[in-house]
Amino acid sequence: MKLRVRHTTEYGYGETVPLCHNLVHLQPRDTDRQQCLEHELSITPAPAAIRTGDDFFGNPVAWFSLQEPHRGLSITALSTVELSADAQTTPNSEAWELAVHCDVMPADAAAREFAFQSPYIPVSPKLADYARPSFPRGRPLAEAAVDLMRRINREFKFVSGVTTVGTPVLDVLRDRRGVCQDFSHLMIACMRSLGLAARYVSGYLLTRPPPGKPRLVGADASHAWVSLWVPGHGWLDLDPTNDCLPGPSHVTVGWARDYGDIGPVRGVIVGGHQHSLKVAVDVIPVDEEIDADS
């Protein structure tokens, strides 16, 4: 299945800004389940140069600077991604305790990088306590994680505007509401508090569902979900916002410890403080786009 992603970010400043440096995570990375066929970054005003590379986690990054006075900035990333059509299923796995601080194989040891607290994701006994009912002794890891995902989906309310990027995970746990980023941080925090390795996935959802399927929550903005290291299997993606295992409707941009490592656009402006921000995300199947054009 081929999807076309359009992600537009527009900044307006209150005054003329002489210099702006940016770093963006907008290019979908290649994974076992997806391949980025095309990617184009359009920036207005045009920067002198766009430099590309990889970040610490292997995600594609682009850097650019606007070095002439400007009053606003618009960044549009247009990507075409080929996704594997089959849905994920819950894999067979061993008892979850065996995955705690597991370093049996080199790959297990490598995944431990994601087993610890990070700037946006604390570990705490409270979080472990919340997770515990899903993780009774001996339960297979994947099954337990799917149960935790389901509980978060049921017990937490999706409400826009009550949380911000900076809302602490423990506040989310207390108030039981938030958006996909909060649910993802929370679920990762729960699993890391048990000693498991889990990472944050930044991505997109198909804007309009295929016929007969319900529209997924969070489809009109960038989306986030969770990936858990399952020894003997690999990384298992879980979307607590939609209580599903991400499949052909989920486009991955990249992964990291938490949102702070992989926010889509980072920027520093020199001069000018007030600014407005508008973001639009559109994900549609490529065939549909052709239909629309004709």
The binding site for another protein (CB under 8 A) comprises 9, 11, 18-23, 48-49, 51, 53, 55-57, 63, 65, 67, 106, 109-110, 112-113, 115-119, 160-161, 164-165, 179-181, 184, 202, 218, 221-224, 241, 259, 261, 263-273, 275, 277, 279
Q: What are phi and psi of 237, to 5 degrees?
A: -80, 140
Minimum gap (Å) between residue 77 Cβ and another protein: 14
Closest to another protein by CB, 126 or 139 = 126
**Considering beta carbons, is residue 9 or 153 the nearer one to another protein?**
9
Tell me which residue of 193, 186, 195, 181 sits closest to 261, measured CA to CA: 181
By beta-carbon proximity to another protein, the closer residue of 13 and 144 is 13
Q: Cβ 139 to another protein, closest distance in Å?
A: 25
Q: Checking phi first, is residue 58 left (phi over 0); if not, alpha (psi -120 to 50) or beta?
A: left
Q: Which tokens is 291 given?
A: 């239909």
Residues linked to residue 226 through DSSP beta bridges, in sequence order: 200, 238
Question: How do the residues of the chain divide into helix, strand and coil, expressed in percent and rounded to 5?
Answer: 25, 40, 35
How many Å separate Cα 145 from the centre of its chain?
Answer: 18
Beta bridge partners of 283: 5
Q: Looking at beta carbons only, is 203 or 285 nearer to another protein?
A: 203
- Minimum CB distance to another protein, residue 86 (Å): 25
> Hey, what are 149's tokens?
């995902």
> Which tokens is 31 given?
């994974």
Q: What is the amino acid identity at position 7?
A: H
Please state, in angstroms and rounded to a whole number, the distance separating the CA atoms of residues 218 and 285: 17
CB 205 within 8 A of CB 246: no
Based on CB atoms, which residue is closest to another protein, 47 or 140? 47
Least separation, in Å, of the C-beta of 122 and another protein? Answer: 11
Please, what is the minimum distance in Å from the beta carbon of residue 268 to another protein? 4
**Shortest Å, Cβ 74 to another protein:** 13
**Nearer residue to another protein within complex by CB, 127 or 142:** 127
